[in-house]
């Protein structure tokens, strides 16, 4: 009886808390999308080889890194714009940047893509280089429209696009792989994952703001670009370093240990990221929307919300980390096949790292709201230094892949803990100003 009374009180609390409701809405879409990915993984691992996943992992790493410049980070300023008119100008600016950047990337790929791939011992990626500008263009459009949806609190629409991304990506990967298109099926599926949802978001934008593209003023767009100039000048490089830091292990593992090892590592990393990202991405979006509304002039409220959020994320993340540490190799062998057992071992090593990243990632949005991108740049630079030191040491000592990943996980976990402590100190200092 007491249990049902407590359950009712908990439900009533959620109904009264708009912040928690929005997290629940966005999380439901992420849950569905990631669940589709998890359910399709045992099929994909029996269609594609570790080497195929190695090519795919390198391709995705390139998209993540280059995609940093898809909108020059102007898209993240859409929720921050002080007026609807300024937000509309930023949206137009983002579309313009996405088109121009993708065209420049296509030219660059045509003339230098193959040479760079060979220099990094990634010859296998050469046939798929032409997919890169297309994927980056889709990424830029989706990022712009998604941030408009965050500003407009269109969380149900965001949920719908996440589900569309999960379904389209998995179906294409399985379908093309089944008829022999390997590893290209994985790559084409990734492109659809980047772009799926653009149609529904753009349709909603056009209906909500019918005149947004009928009026086009270069003066106003320039004014919007200048207003948020720190984002392309500083934060875009900070985000690039963040992306490089997250993808550098894949590129270095491929360079040092070969495609098979990077394929196994890539699968382990993506699968253990999925459950954490189910909630993490949802929390980050809603948290960013909430602290953007609070504004940098009320850091005390942001601090209270951040501390409360950190405590909740720790409680949520502990159980899956414990599960992976105990049963990782067994679970991977059962669900994905015996040749993927090492992926389970890698998941054991990476589990604590994933937990600390899960906690720190949403909190990093505070630096956007406070508009202190220089600190973000410094933190992301530090992460790259830590990663490079780990892999340089691994090469110097001729360490095995498993020993290298264990050292990497420990080092970067310490870094993420430091990030959380640093940001909380910044908020406390900002409050005392």
pLDDT at 255 over 70: yes
Summarised one tens digit per residue, pLDDT across range 85-120 is 999 999 999 999 999 999 999 999 999 888 888 877
Q: Which domain holds residue 428?
A: 272-433
Say if CB 361 and CB 280 are below 8 A apart.
yes
Tens of pLDDT, residue by residue over 123-164, are 888 899 999 999 999 999 999 999 999 888 888 888 888 888
- The answer to whether residue 86 is domain-embedded is yes
Q: What is the pLDDT of residue 177?
A: 94
Please indicate, yes or no, if residue 135 is contained in any of the structural domains: yes
User: Mean pLDDT, to the nearest integer, of 263-270?
Assistant: 89
**Residue 10 included in any domain:** no
* Residue 236 within a domain: no
Same domain? 280 vs 170:
no
pLDDT tens, position by position, 344-369: 999 999 989 988 998 888 888 888 78
- In a shared domain, residues 276 and 215: no
Final residue before a domain boundary, out of 228, 252, 281: 228
DSSP string over 124-191: GGGGGTTHHHHHHHHHHHHHHHHHHHHHTT-HHHHHHHHHHHHHHHHHHHHHHHHTT-TTHHHHHHHH
Average pLDDT score, the chain: 85
Residue 349 lies in a domain: yes
Residues 35, 99 within the same domain: yes
Report the percent of the chain where pLDDT is more than 90: 38
Token code pair at residue 5: 């009374």
Of 200, 228, 256, the last residue of a domain is: 228
CA neighbor of 28 nearest in space, from 196, 168, 157: 157
pTM, two decimal places: 0.79
- For residue 275, what pLDDT is reported? 66
Same domain, 204 and 285: no
Total domains in the fold of the chain: 2
Write down which residue in 161, 194, 228 finishes a domain: 228
Same domain flag for 185 and 300: no
Q: Are residues 189 and 285 in the same domain?
A: no
Whether residues 196 and 306 share a domain: the answer is no
Asked if residue 246 is part of any domain, the answer here is: no
Residue 129 sits in the same domain as residue 57: yes
Residue 75 is assigned to a structural domain of this protein:
yes
Q: What pLDDT, on the 0 to 100 scale, is given for residue 10?
A: 42
Is the pLDDT confidence value at 2 over 70?
A: no
Give the integer Cα–Cα distance in Å for 109 and 132: 8
Whether residue 362 sits in one domain with residue 216: no
d(CA 153, CA 157): 9
Q: What is the per-residue pLDDT across 319-349, written as a single tens digit (0 to 9) for each? A: 888 888 898 889 888 888 888 889 999 999 9
Specify whether 284 is located in the same domain as 141: no
202, part of any domain: yes
Q: Do 215 and 334 belong to one domain? A: no
Q: What is the pLDDT of residue 92?
A: 94
Q: Are residues 159 and 104 in the same domain?
A: yes
């Amino acid at each position: 009886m007491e249990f049902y009374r407590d359950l009712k009180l908990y439900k009533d609390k959620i109904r009264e808390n708009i912040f928690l409701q929005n997290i629940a809405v966005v999380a439901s879409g992420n849950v569905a999308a990631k669940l589709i990915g998890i359910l399709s993984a045992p099929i994909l691992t029996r269609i594609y080889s570790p080497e195929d996943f190695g090519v795919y992992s390198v391709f995705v790493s390139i998209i993540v890194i280059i995609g940093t410049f898809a909108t020059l980070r102007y898209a993240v300023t859409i929720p921050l714009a002080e007026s609807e008119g300024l937000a509309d100008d930023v949206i137009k600016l983002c579309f313009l940047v996405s088109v121009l950047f993708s065209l420049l990337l296509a030219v660059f790929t045509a003339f230098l893509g193959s040479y760079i791939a060979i220099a990094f011992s990634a010859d296998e990626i050469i046939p798929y280089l032409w997919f890169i500008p297309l994927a980056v263009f889709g990424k830029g459009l989706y990022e712009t429209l998604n941030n408009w949806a965050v500003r407009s609190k269109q969380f149900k629409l965001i949920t719908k696009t996440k589900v569309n991304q999960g379904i389209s990506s998995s179906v294409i990967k399985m379908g093309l792989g089944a008829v022999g298109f390997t590893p290209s099926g994985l790559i084409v599926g990734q492109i659809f994952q980047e772009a799926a949802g653009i149609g529904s978001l753009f349709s909603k934008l056009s209906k909500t703001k019918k005149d947004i593209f009928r009026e086009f003023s270069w003066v106003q767009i320039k004014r919007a670009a200048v207003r948020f100039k720190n984002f392309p000048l500083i934060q875009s490089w900070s985000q690039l370093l963040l992306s490089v830091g997250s993808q550098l292990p894949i590129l270095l593992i491929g360079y040092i240990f070969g495609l098979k090892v990077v394929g196994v590592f890539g699968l382990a990393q993506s699968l253990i990221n999925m459950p954490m990202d189910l909630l993490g991405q949802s929390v980050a979006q809603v948290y960013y929307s909430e602290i953007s509304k609070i504004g940098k002039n009320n850091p005390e409220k942001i601090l209270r919300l951040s501390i409360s959020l950190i405590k909740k994320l720790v409680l949520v993340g502990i159980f899956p980390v414990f599960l992976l540490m105990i049963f990782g190799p067994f679970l991977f062998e059962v669900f994905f096949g015996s040749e993927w057992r090492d992926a389970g071992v890698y998941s054991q090593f990476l589990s604590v790292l994933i937990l600390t990243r899960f906690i720190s990632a949403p909190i990093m949005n505070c630096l956007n709201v406070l508009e202190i991108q220089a600190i973000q740049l410094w933190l992301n630079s530090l992460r790259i230094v830590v990663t490079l030191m780990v892999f340089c040491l691994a090469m110097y000592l001729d360490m095995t892949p498993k020993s290298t990943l264990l050292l990497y996980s420990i080092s970067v976990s310490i870094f993420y803990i430091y990030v959380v402590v640093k940001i909380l100190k910044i908020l406390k200092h900002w409050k005392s100003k």
